[in-house]
């Protein structure tokens, strides 16, 4: 119990000196209280000794209670100033004696816990003050009731004055150590920011460094996107992971992050603030008790947030918030530089890829894009293209192979407000199904075997331009939902990525297939078909544009003759008549190939049609019937001769089909028809 001073004045003096020596150099609260207990145990009887310090950050009293010598257990107790008797002592700077704690009604929470956990009956508290600094309260407690006399109170006050000096020195040293640790952490974080760590590794290193000076359980970095939502940029947990589901963008409305972005100032919120931030309840459901969110600011604007969360209700001090703001300013610069570098890298890659596309277009002779004609069917196509081009609507170009569907798509692009942007072509039939998704949407580094670097897809390349999806009927069914989303929402993710990329693209698709029949046969998605079928535009086959054949012939003769340095100024009327009568199963492509071959074989100034049997196949029906056997024999010999010139190659740019102006499948059919040797099939 707390007993009367049990020694002479000299013993008391020696005890005070022993106290000064005992607490000198102690480095923590437990050691300080242990020193008091050891020094005063000879002259004062007590069951517990306690130290309560005022915490200005939470306007609360932080108590530390040490059991009697032999059982050195420290118990901590934090209470608001007006709920703790030590708070009364600190405010009034007067001793407080409670002889019978069971009859005390002013501090029910403290009394209940003191009696329940320690069995205390008597409590004596005196102010702990060093000069002008009010530090808190100091005192003893006893299990048995006791009424101290004035001399005993005076003794405790003298002890408290000696003890206050040591406590003040301890607090000053604690502040210096904290500042040293924070400067060291700031330095370590700076080193991490200038390292070559990846995004997740970097943020993990930053969070680990921060946890040394600001205790937290979760750290999150978010960045604003164009839609006003927040993208999780990086996440880190010092304990069990709770944020596995938080990988998608989210609306910050009703969360502390919204206030941080709006004001550019830090926000501290606790679970008791749920009414103020209703959308944060899903985080409270995960067990989070508090959050400190600060803005990432650059160029006078907040473009993201740095947030630390706790599973406890520990107070976020002004020092914590101020230090976190310092860290956030460093992170903001690093993140902005990273985003700028990424943007420049993507722009550089986009420009390089666009350059390759342009070079490919030049090699393929971009002049093919010139639409030539004057007949009614041609004028109908031109009129439809002029109507739809300015609208930015999706266009589906339908027509047989070789009719010039790509030329129509290019014309729509050139007539639109997007003509300054890129015209990007994707041939859905020419790219293997396994690579088509990456070709369209791009991929992240390491997303699959062989993905050694990040690649920008053609959707991104077509930003603010036109994306032409040729042979759309050949697109695999499993890829069609992603294409539908990209067309409808103008957004997608790269293969292996989780960041949503938004684009501004005009879509033009083309096919020679009957998509409606494919839908009925479940070989093409109905929703994608109707999304593409906004403005169907049918391109007539060449047999329905016979009026344009002479004009097209003269155009191709001039173009190829100029390229080859030939002087061809005459086209025989008989040849034009024959060309006009022919049905052209390969359409304009077949006509162009025939004219190019004819220009190659022409030696004078008059065009020589390259195929002797061509005029026979173009002759009137009566002549065909009389000479059909001769015609077929001549065609068979011609096919064999061209196959030999092509060294047996049927397809490809230099194959026999291209030389004859036929589709590869058409030539293979005729090879079988004429029973030509198997090696040519």
- Digit-coded pLDDT (tens) for 602-657: 888 888 887 644 544 444 443 334 344 555 677 788 888 888 888 888 887 678 88
For residue range 456-503, list pLDDT tens digits in order: 888 888 899 999 999 999 999 999 999 999 999 999 888 888 788 889
593: how many CB neighbours lie within 10 A of its CB?
20
Element (H or E) spanning 267, and its range? strand 267-270
Which position has the higher pLDDT, 665 or 85? 85
Q: What is the pLDDT of residue 652?
A: 78
* Cβ-defined contacts of 279-284 (< 8 Å, 24+): 279/251, 279/252, 279/253, 279/254, 279/255, 280/254, 280/255, 280/256, 283/309
Q: What integer is the mean pLDDT of 71-88?
A: 79
Q: What is the DSSP letter of 475?
A: S
Answer yes or no: are the C-beta atoms of 254 and 278 closer than 8 Å.
Answer: yes
Mention every residue, 6+ apart, whose C-beta is less than 8 A from residue 121: 100, 101, 102, 142, 143, 144, 145, 146
Evaluate if residue 413 carries a pLDDT over 60. yes
Q: What integer is the mean pLDDT of 531-559?
A: 91
C-alpha 319, offset from chain centre: 32
Q: Which token pair is 610? A: 């390259």
Evaluate if residue 365 carries a pLDDT over 60. no
For the entire predicted model, the pTM comes to 0.45
How far is 401 from 586, CA to CA, in rounded Å?
7
Q: What is the pLDDT of residue 417?
A: 92
Answer yes or no: are the C-beta atoms of 331 and 192 closer than 8 Å.
Answer: no
- Mean pLDDT over each residue of the chain, to the nearest integer: 80
| Cα distances (Å, whole numbers) of residue 438 to 99, 168, 444, 454, 475 | 81, 66, 9, 10, 13
For residue range 19-43, list pLDDT tens digits in order: 666 666 666 666 777 777 766 666 6
Residue 677 buriedness (CB in 10 A; 0-12 / 13-18 / 19+): exposed
Q: What integer is the mean pLDDT of 291-314?
A: 85
Answer yes or no: are the C-beta atoms of 390 and 528 closer than 8 Å.
Answer: no
Q: What is the pLDDT of residue 26?
A: 60
Evaluate if residue 275 carries a pLDDT over 90. no
Q: Which token pair is 385? A: 């293209």
Residue 578: band (very low, low, confident or very high) from pLDDT cuts 50, 70, 90 = confident
Q: Which token pair is 202? A: 């970097």
Residue 149: band (very low, low, confident or very high) from pLDDT cuts 50, 70, 90 = confident
- Among residues 425, 455, 423, which one has the least CA distance to residue 441? 455
Q: What is the pLDDT of residue 388?
A: 94
Element (H or E) spanning 343, and its range? helix 318-363
Using DSSP, state whether 496 is helix, strand or coil: coil
- Among residues 214, 222, 285, which one has the least CA distance to residue 256? 222
Answer yes or no: are the C-beta atoms of 210 and 185 closer than 8 Å.
Answer: yes
Q: Give the CA angle between residues 461, 464, 465 to the nearest 5°.
A: 70
Q: What is the pLDDT of residue 347?
A: 66
Which position has the higher pLDDT, 312 or 93? 93
Mention every residue, 6+ apart, whose C-beta is less than 8 A from residue 611: 594, 638, 660
Q: What is the pLDDT of residue 156?
A: 80
Q: Give the CA angle between residues 190, 194, 199 to the nearest 5°.
A: 100
Element (H or E) spanning 63, and its range? strand 60-67
How far is 321 from 606, CA to CA, in rounded Å?
88
Q: What is the pLDDT of residue 616?
A: 44
Domains of the chain listed by start with CATH number = 9-177 (3.30.450.40), 199-340 (3.30.450.40), 368-540 (3.40.50.300), 544-680 (1.10.8.60)
For residue range 240-268, list pLDDT tens digits in order: 565 555 667 788 888 898 999 889 899 98
Read out DSSP for 355-418? Answer: HHHHHHHHHT-GGGG-----SHHHHHHHHHHHHHGGGT--EEEE--TTS-HHHHHHHHHHTSTT
Q: What is the pLDDT of residue 358?
A: 56
Evaluate if residue 601 carries a pLDDT over 70. yes
Q: What is the pLDDT of residue 368?
A: 36
533: how many CB neighbours lie within 10 A of its CB?
16
Mention every residue, 6+ apart, whose C-beta is less than 8 A from residue 563: none
Q: What is the pLDDT of residue 614?
A: 53
Evaluate if residue 1 carries a pLDDT over 60. no
| First and final C-alpha spacing in the chain | 111
Q: What is the pLDDT of residue 618?
A: 45
351: how many CB neighbours lie within 10 A of its CB?
11
54-63, 149-158, 349-358, 574-583: the lowest-pLDDT one: 349-358
**Torsion of the alpha carbons at 494, 495, 496 and 502, rounded to the nearest 10:** 20
Q: Which token pair is 409? A: 């798509």
Percent of the chain with pLDDT over 70: 80
For residue range 660-669, list pLDDT tens digits in order: 777 787 888 7
Q: What integer is the mean pLDDT of 535-556?
A: 91
Evaluate if residue 357 carries a pLDDT over 60. no
């Amino acid at each position: 119990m707390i007993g009367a001073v049990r020694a002479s004045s000299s013993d008391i003096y020696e005890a005070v000196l022993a106290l000064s020596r005992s607490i000198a150099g102690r480095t923590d609260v437990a050691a300080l209280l242990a020193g008091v207990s050891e020094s005063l145990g000879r002259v004062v009887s007590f069951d517990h000794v306690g130290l309560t310090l005022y915490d200005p950050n939470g306007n609360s009293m932080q108590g530390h209670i040490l059991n009697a010598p032999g059982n050195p257990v420290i118990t901590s107790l934090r209470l608001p100033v007006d709920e703790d008797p030590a708070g009364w002592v600190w405010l009034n700077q007067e001793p407080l004696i409670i002889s019978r704690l069971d009859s005390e009604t002013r501090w029910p929470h403290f009394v209940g816990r003191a009696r329940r956990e320690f069995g205390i009956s008597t409590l004596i508290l005196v102010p702990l003050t060093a000069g002008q600094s009010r530090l808190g309260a100091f005192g003893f407690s006893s299990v048995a009731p006791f009424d101290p006399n004035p001399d005993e109170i005076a003794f405790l006050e003298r002890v408290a004055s000696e003890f206050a000096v040591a406590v003040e020195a301890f607090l000053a040293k604690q502040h210096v150590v904290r500042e040293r640790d924070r400067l060291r952490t700031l330095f370590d974080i700076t080193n991490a920011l200038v390292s070559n760590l990846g995004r997740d590794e970097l943020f993990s290193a930053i969070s680990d460094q921060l946890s040394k000076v600001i205790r937290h359980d979760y750290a999150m970095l978010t960045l604003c996107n164009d839609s006003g939502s927040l993208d999780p940029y990086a996440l880190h947990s010092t304990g069990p992971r709770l944020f596995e589901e938080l990988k998608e963008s989210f609306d910050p409305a009703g969360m502390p992050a919204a206030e941080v972005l709006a004001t550019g100032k830090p926000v501290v919120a606790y679970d008791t603030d749920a009414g103020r931030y209703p959308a944060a309840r899903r985080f409270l459901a995960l067990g989070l008790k508090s959050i400190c969110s600060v803005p990432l600011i650059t160029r006078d604007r907040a473009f993201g947030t740095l947030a630390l969360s706790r599973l406890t209700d520990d107070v976020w001090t002004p020092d914590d918030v101020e230090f976190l703001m310092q860290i956030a300013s460093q992170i903001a610069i690093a993140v902005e530089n990273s985003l700028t570098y990424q943007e420049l890298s993507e722009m550089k890659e986009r420009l390089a890829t666009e350059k390759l596309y342009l070079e490919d277009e030049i090699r393929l002779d971009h002049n093919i894009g010139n639409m030539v004609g004057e007949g009614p069917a041609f004028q109908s196509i031109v009129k439809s293209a002029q109507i739809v081009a300015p609208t930015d609507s999706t266009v589906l170009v339908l027509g047989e192979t070789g009719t010039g569907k790509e030329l129509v798509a290019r014309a729509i692009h050139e007539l639109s407000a997007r003509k300054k942007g890129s015209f990007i072509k994707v041939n859905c039939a020419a790219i293997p199904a396994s690579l088509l998704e990456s070709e369209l949407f791009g991929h992240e580094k390491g997303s699959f075997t062989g993905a050694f670097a990040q690649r920008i897809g053609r959707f991104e390349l077509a930003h603010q331009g036109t994306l032409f999806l040729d042979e759309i009927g050949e697109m695999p069914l499993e890829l069609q939902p992603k294409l539908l989303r990209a067309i409808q929402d103008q957004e997608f993710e790269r293969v292996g990525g989780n960041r949503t990329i938004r684009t501004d693209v005009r879509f033009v698709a083309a096919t020679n297939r009957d998509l409606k029949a494919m839908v009925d046969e479940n070989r093409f998605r109905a929703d994608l078909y109707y999304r593409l079928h906004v403005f169907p535009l049918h391109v007539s086959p060449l047999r329905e544009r016979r009026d344009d054949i002479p004009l097209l012939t003269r155009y191709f003769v001039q173009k190829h003759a100029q390229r080859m340095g030939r002087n061809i100024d005459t086209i025989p009327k008989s040849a034009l008549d024959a060309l006009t009568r022919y049905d052209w199963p390969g359409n304009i492509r077949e006509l162009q190939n025939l004219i190019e071959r004819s220009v190659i074989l022409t030696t004078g100034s008059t065009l020589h049609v390259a195929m002797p049997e061509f005029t026979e196949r173009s002759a009137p029906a009566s002549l065909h019937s009389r000479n059909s056997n001769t015609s077929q024999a001549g065609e068979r010999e011609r096919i064999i001769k061209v196959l030999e010139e092509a060294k047996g190659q049927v397809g490809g740019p230099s194959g026999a089909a291209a030389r004859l102006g036929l589709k590869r499948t058409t030539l293979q059919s005729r090879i079988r028809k004429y029973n030509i040797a198997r090696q040519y099939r």
